[in-house]
Amino acid sequence: MSSPVFEAMLYGPLAEKDVLFLNDDQPEAFRCLLDYIYSNNINFTGVEFTHQVYHLAHKYQLDEICQICSENLAEEITEENFPFVYDTALFFDDHKLLQRSADQVLKSKNITYLRSSSLKQLLSHPRLAVSSEANVFSALLSWGLSQVKAEYAVGPVTYSPVVEKESPKSISAKEDENEKEEEAVEKHQYKQEMHIPKLRP
């Protein structure tokens, strides 16, 4: 059988039934897998569909189909879909896709859809080759602004004061009390200084 995962699910020690329920799999993408397994024929209808097929091929350990999906994505890379393809390459650890020119993703308007981890890995990639540092700066600026807009889209941020503001009346009243206390202390010190003890006869 082409897939060791299918073989284990159908004939392995954990197999329970002759019918498999694959509720998490995309029907069209799964049908594409079966077409290749039984007729050696595969047709992709777009980058997103190729990603779905790639995901299932990786899940069921169909290495030959994984390679076909990788080659198809490499041929279909454009400035618009490169962030999506790059994320796919990172997810499946596809080194061939990662080695593609980074200029396309940095110039793409859709770079804002990249995850922070993907952008960090892109910029630290050992084979990163860009035509201009301005492209890198512009891409980082666009990505950063999109993150700020996404945070503020939730709503305005309000902060509660840590210390309550005192009214002018309460401040003046406290000042009067302090002045009275200071005057009382000064009078007491003055009386102690002026007190002369009587001499005994």
pLDDT tens for 120-164 read 877 787 766 666 788 788 888 888 888 888 777 766 545 444 444
Largest CA distance in the chain: 134
**Would you say residue 189 lies in a domain?**
no
Alpha-carbon distances, residue 174 vs 26, 93, 101, 181 (angstroms): 73, 69, 71, 11
The answer to whether residues 87 and 21 belong to one domain is no
In this structure, is residue 60 part of a structural domain? yes
* Confidence at 8, pLDDT banded by 50, 70, 90: confident
**Is 169 inside any structural domain?**
no
Same domain, 138 and 92: yes
Could you tell me if residue 108 is inside a domain? yes
Q: How many domains does the chain have?
A: 2
Report pLDDT for 61: 92
Q: Out of 76, 111, 141, pick the residue that ends a domain.
A: 76
Instruction: Classify residue 163 by its DSSP letter.
Output: S
Q: Are residues 69 and 127 in the same domain?
A: no
- Residue 10 inside a domain? The answer is yes
Residue 105 makes CB contacts below 8 A (sequence gap 6+) with 79, 82, 83, 86, 111, 114, 122, 139
Q: Containing domain of residue 62, as a range?
A: 1-76
Over residues 65-85, mean pLDDT: 85
Compare 57 and 174 and report the one with higher pLDDT. 57
Please state, rounded to an integer, the average pLDDT across all residues of the chain.
75
189 or 79, which is more confident: 79
Q: Kindly state whether residues 131 and 87 are assigned to the same domain.
A: yes
Of 34, 54, 76, the position where a domain reaches its end is 76
In a domain, 146, yes or no: yes
Query: Do residues 121 and 56 share a domain?
Result: no
At 67, which CATH number?
3.30.710.10
pLDDT at residue 16 in the model: 66
**Residue 157 falls within a domain, yes or no?**
no
Q: Which residues, 6 or more positions from 167, have their beta carbon under 8 angstroms from its beta carbon?
A: none
Residue 161 lies in a domain: no
